[in-house]
Amino acid sequence: MDYAEVAVLAPITRAPNVAPTYTYAIPETLAEHVAPGSLVTVPFRARKLSGIVVALAQTTRIPDIKPIESLLDPQPAVDSTRIELARWMAH
């Protein structure tokens, strides 16, 4: 199974020096379609939020990963240049 690092589109308070993203499993049905920049729906606490995939990984050390629920658009909403700019601005 592959994993996605997702930046959720909501104000979230995080501790300093903690990445502002969350890891989600990519279901097999979405594996060929999810890419960096994809707009997705993910479970977050007791609600569902939209988010942008900022990176992909083949492994994770995080236990009990929840899956991405849906892909909101077949085309990536953000390109890699903008993802890198957002990462730079977040730190």
pLDDT in tens, 17-62: 666 789 999 999 999 999 999 999 999 989 999 999 999 999 999 9
Residue pair 74/39 in contact by the 8 Å Cβ criterion: no
Residue pair 42/48 in contact by the 8 Å Cβ criterion: yes
Dihedral class, residue 53 (left if φ above 0, else alpha if ψ from -120 to 50, else beta): beta
Interatomic CA distance for residues 57 and 43, integer angstroms: 19
What is the residue whose two structure tokens read 């050390």?
Answer: 61
| pLDDT at site 16 | 63
| pLDDT at site 33 | 96
Residue pair 6/46 in contact by the 8 Å Cβ criterion: no
Mean pLDDT of 80-91: 85
| pLDDT at site 15 | 63
Residue 10: band (very low, low, confident or very high) from pLDDT cuts 50, 70, 90:
confident
Write down the pTM of the prediction: 0.89
H or E element at residue 7: strand 2-8
| pLDDT at site 63 | 92
